[in-house]
Every structure is written in structure tokens, then in C-alpha cells.
Amino acid sequence: MKSVFDTLAAAGHEQVLFCADEAAGYRGIIAIHSTALGPALGGTRLLRYATDEEALVDALRLSRGMTYKNALAGMDVGGGKAVILRGAEPLDRERLFRAHGRFIERLGGRFITGEDVGTTPADMELIRRETRHVKGLAGEGGDPSPWTARGVLRAMQAAARHRWGSDDLAGRAVAIQGCGSVGSRLAAELHRLGARLIVADVEPERARRVAAELGAAVAPPDAIASAEADIFAPCALGGVLDDRAVQALRAEIVAGAANNQLLEPRHGDALAARGVLYVPDVVANAGGVLSGGADLFGWSRAEVERRVHAIHDTVLLVLEMAKADGAPPHVAAERLAEQRLRDRAAAG
């Protein structure tokens, strides 16, 4: 059987912490994949996992993705991620997030966190009581979701240009899976540009609200991936592009906000084989980390906007590299990220 250290070495992780504060009902994993470009930056997610192994795998995959995402976004930060295992209800969020904050503080700035699935700016305020290594507080950099939504939109426009010769999304049908913070904002931006929308959410009220506001059609959650659409936008959880979804897809482009959309890398190969243009999530959803540049590096709002806008150019570069190399886009994105990490190491 593979040892834990072999598992870490295979994906190139520097450090993984298993943290517990039983009195606070807190169990968490902090995974630091790389600090080569700077302190490891990555959100904290709060989720109920079936097993501890599932939580570990999530933290390892997500933190590695952050290294690539930050490198592709041109950010001088490394990659990390924290997961808090959702336990007994009711949650005492104050004790939970303060316990988490104490563990982050002990890392002395090697890991900087922010909001993610299941956490809010208010939770970040609780972490802040224990450590300053947290971003995305209410009234500070604020909610990254609008920037993530804008970045996904730019990624879609680039993919449309690559596939159909124009950025124009007017009249295109877009199927959005998940009407949460990002999905609902993405829907509003697409509506503004004249796209037709089909939305789904496991919380039916969220899908109904978007439908009522924007005139979107609603699909059952298990049918959204196979909806009759030009673009499929996964904006819920990871792993949605599995064998079934890849075969059922009718869209020509997949571009969305969810992290780790490919269940396994081979699903990226299968999408390419079917002629579906997949925009790698690490490139498409970088708007959120870029918005953190305001707090981290003092970027102005205009600077954040410029960089989120430029996600379009990175997507085009990745898609052109993929075409030139005869490689699927998710492989081309990894190659570009690794090239940027190597260039930085060479530059000292």
C-alpha cells in the first residue's frame, strides 16, 4: 500500500497538517502544496465528508490546484487549502473558526486563507480574531464571488472566440449548475449580454429565484449537464465531469467556477475526444484569487479589474497551446503553470 508520504510526494506537497480541537468540535486539514512563489494561499471550506480520507483527498487536490491557479493568474503566492470536517450539529461557528484560526496562526504566515464553499466573510472575521493570515473579510477585500463570476464570463468569451470566432454570447444557451454566490452572479452577467439561461440547483428555491429574476429556464439538478445548451457552466461542486456527464453533454464548451471539475484527468481527455472544448477550472475561476491582490499587494480596484479581464487572454493562450501541442486543455494549462514556476525559479 502507498504510504502517506508517498501520496504527498507524488503530488509534490510540502506539508499537510491534521488539526483537532475536540472541545471546539473542530477537525481540520491544512494542506500546503507549494510556497515556491510565496506564502500558500487557499480558501477554507466547511463540508460534511463521508470519510476522513475523502477530506484529505479533497485538501490535497484543491491545494495543488491552487498552486497552478495562482501561477496561471500571475500571482506571487503559492498553493494551499484547508478543509474543516463538518461534524455534530448545531455548529458553534465562533469556537470552530477561532480554533481553525489558532492553527493557521501557528504556521506563521506560510498559509493565508479566505472564504470557500460553506464559509462566509463573517467566518473569516472569526478566524481574524486569532490570526492576521486571513483575507476576504467583510468590508475588506470583501466577497470574491463577483470577481470569480466575471472571470468565468471572460473565460467563456475566450472559449467562444476560439470555437466560434467571436466573443459574442448573445443568443447562446448557457446551462448553469449551481445558483450560489458565483452561479447566480454569472447568470446575471450572461443575461446582460443576451445569453439564454438554463439553471439548476439542489436547493430549488435558488434556481427559482434566478429564473424569476432573469427569465431563465429551470432544469432538474440531475439533467443540467445534459441540457440542450451551447455552454455548460459547472458552478456547484467538483468532480461533475465524470463518465456519465462526459457522454451526456450536449454543450460544445464547458467553462465554470467549480474547482476540480474533472473527476479524473482522463475525463479531460474524453471531453477532447468528443470535441468538447473544456476551459480548465484553474484558469476560468481565478477571479477570486485575483481579487485577493487588493489586500495582499495593495492593488487598486482598476488593477484587479484589469487582471480579471485578462483571464480571457490566458484562456486563449492555453487553448492555442493545446491545439498546437495536440494536447487536451487541462494538460496545456498544467504545462503553462509549470513553465511559469520554472521561469520564476530560474529568475531566482
Which of 241-249, 254-262, 294-302, 334-342 is the region at the interface with ligand NAD (rule: CB under 6 A)?
254-262
Is 323 marked active-site?
no
| Crossing angle for the helix pair 311-325 and 52-73, to the nearest 10 degrees | 100
* Sequence-distant contacts of 332-340: CB under 8 A, at least 24 apart: 332/280, 333/68, 333/72, 333/280, 333/282, 333/283, 334/68, 336/72, 337/67, 337/68, 337/71, 337/72, 337/282, 338/71, 340/71, 340/72, 340/74
Q: Report yes or no: 290 and 269 within 8 Å, Cβ to Cβ.
A: no
**In the set 38, 121, 221, 239, which binds ligand NAD (CB under 6 A)?**
221
Q: With respect to ligand NAD, which residue has the nearer C-beta, 116 or 334?
A: 116
Give the integer Cα–Cα distance in Å for 24 and 152.
37
Q: In the complex, what is the shortest distance from the CB of residue 179 to ligand NAD, in angstroms, rounded to a whole number?
A: 5
Which of 80-88, 197-205, 241-249, 265-273 is the region at the interface with ligand NAD (rule: CB under 6 A)?
197-205
Which residues within the stretch 91-120 sit at the binding site for ligand NAD (CB under 6 A)?
116-117
**In the set 14, 177, 230, 292, which binds ligand NAD (CB under 6 A)?**
177
Q: In the complex, what is the shortest distance from the CB of residue 148 to ligand NAD, in angstroms, rounded to a whole number?
A: 4
The burial class, CB within 10 Å (0-12 / 13-18 / 19+), for 78 is buried
Q: Out of 2, 69, 81, 135, which one is annotated catalytic?
A: 81
The burial class, CB within 10 Å (0-12 / 13-18 / 19+), for 21 is middle
Pairing of strands 26-34, 78-85: antiparallel
Distance of CA 289 to the CA centre of its chain: 9
Mask for 258-297, x = binds ligand NAD (CB under 6 A): xx-------------------------x--x---------
Q: With respect to ligand NAD, which residue has the nearer C-beta, 117 or 168?
A: 117
Residue nearest to ligand NAD (CB): 180
Q: Helix, strand, or coil here: 155?
A: helix
| 206 contacts ligand NAD (rule: CB under 6 A) | yes
**In the set 105, 180, 191, 263, which binds ligand NAD (CB under 6 A)?**
180
Footprint of ligand NAD on this chain (CB under 6 A)?
116-117, 144-145, 148, 177-183, 200-203, 206, 221, 235-238, 257-259, 285, 288
- Positions marked catalytic: 81
